[in-house]
Amino acid sequence: MSNWSPSSEYQRVAEANRQFYAGIAPLYDGSETCVTDRRIQQNLEADLDRILDILGRQPTPIRALDACGGSGNVALKLLKRGLDVTLVDISPELLELFRNKCAGSHPAPGIVCSEIAAYMLQTSRTFDLIVFSSALHHLEDIEAVLTLAFQCLESGGLLYSIFDPTSRSRLKAATRLLQRLEYFTFKLFCQTGDLPAAAMRRLRRLCSGVSAQRKSDAALNRATAGMLAEFHVEKGIDDLALVKKMCSVGFDVVWHERYADGRFQWTKRLIERIGDSTSFKLLLRRPPPASS
């Protein structure tokens, strides 16, 4: 479907994700805000209902790909709505959690352990809906992967992306400080068991001279796997440039929403008062062929 070939850096970042989630899959599933927060879950449910209204009734079940779907945060909601769901993720540990959650589901989902670009390059399937939930910031080459996703969509199909950070260079200093404080608060109170390991990883990186701002120089090891897996977290994603690029690929923009968000309500409210947008979500459409 494409002549794009993942670079060695892309492959290194993908492997970092596999290694990192091998160690933290249950912790992630039990504590990560986009999976556990009730408010965020309600907003996600509302988005999915809006998306299915846009797709409308289909003669056959809507085919959905939960790309980098992890433990099934989105896939389970799509299964509940009767979609034909395929979940692809590079982590066997996250996929095992999903298998346990969806045991007995009818219809049963497709579950594929694969790096997402490798899957999309090889599959002959096309989809009516492709979802990237808290996924784009883990991909070294976002534009290439979304271009592959465009090719895997049916005409009129939709691509939905959510839970990714906006560019930090556009944020005010107060917002960046709040985000750092929020992260340490989250680790202290929500991922307490991971604190010693997280501190040790940071110490090893400091001792080796590895910088999160220069990830291309970092060798993949136990200390750097998490840093490389969260590839775009420190700098964020320039969503304005990304949307422009996706339009040049052929996508139509159904919605592009930028908003203040945080792991905690107090963080979200403070960032809203500052006036920054720290997260974005996209709904893109592969347009149907022009009628003659």
* Phi and psi at residue 214, to the nearest 5°: -130, 65
Q: ω before 6 within 30° of 0 (cis)?
A: no
Do 86 and 66 form a contact (C-beta atoms < 8 A)? yes
* Residue 159 identity: L
pLDDT of residue 67: 98
Q: For residue 89, list its beta bridge partners.
A: 113
Q: Encode pLDDT of 149-206 as tens digits.
A: 999 999 999 999 999 999 999 999 999 999 999 999 999 999 998 888 888 888 888 8
Confidence check: pLDDT of 1 > 60? no
Query: What is d(CA 67, CA 13) in angstroms, rounded to the nearest whole number?
Result: 16
Q: Encode pLDDT of 30-78 as tens digits.
A: 999 999 999 999 999 999 999 999 999 887 899 999 999 999 999 999 9
Spell out the domain ranges in the chain.
8-170+231-285
CATH 3.40.50.150 fits 8-170+231-285, yes or no: yes
Q: Encode pLDDT of 217-265 as tens digits.
A: 888 998 899 999 999 999 999 999 999 999 999 999 999 999 999 999 9
Instruction: Give 191's DSSP letter.
Output: S
Q: Is the pTM of this model over 0.85?
A: yes
- Burial string for 50-89 (b: 16+ CB within 10 Å, else e) reads ebbeebeeeeeebbbbbbbbbbbbbbbbbbeeebbbbbbb
Q: For residue 162, list its beta bridge partners.
A: 133
List CB contacts of 62: < 8 A, sequence separation 6 or more.
Answer: 52, 55, 83, 84, 128, 129
pLDDT of residue 289: 86
